[in-house]
Chains A and B, each alone.
Chain A
Amino acid sequence: MIALALATALLLGDYAPQPMASDTLSPEQEARVQHIGAQIRCPICQGLSIAASGSAPARVELERVREMVREGKTDQEIKDFFVARYGDWVLLSPRAEGANWIVWLGPALLLLIGGITIARTLRGPKAATAAAAPATAAPADDEFLRRVREEVDG
């Protein structure tokens, strides 16, 4: 029944069409399109790029990338076009600038702090013993100890 419904829908043309097919690019240009598309977030997908998604908005956006590559726009100009409309949200990898540094450096910083904390904790007891050792070594002129020794030794 489902197959029949799908076949009928296809025959009637009642599906999302692809009116945006354009002239093909050279393999190098198409590779660039895919490379740029992999960095731009699909607006209706969960963490997918427009190159990885088959949704209508992703296809529309990828076609625009294709068009801009054909026009000779640079990668940065193409990304700027999308950022101007959707903000940094549209980039799957946030730019390394401003508050975004928290995202880029945060994990490394946390790892560093964690590593130092672990190192200090592991080294801690030895350091404490070493620090305590001089305190246990009584000074030779300790009056109390001298008297105890005299008592013990007779």
Chain B
Amino acid sequence: MTRGVIIFWAIFVLVIGIDYRLTDRPRLEPKPFALGSGEASSSGHCSGK
């Protein structure tokens, strides 16, 4: 099963790496905490936002 774990995580890290290569661009970084930032979260959520 250790081999399976290694393969699972290798694929996972590889996909994240490919994604980053394909999508990298400058980011307007949000403040570390939403509370006190003065800004509403702009991210998507399961509730349909």
The answer to whether A and B belong to the same complex is: no
| Residues of B in contact with A (beta carbons under 8 Å apart) | none
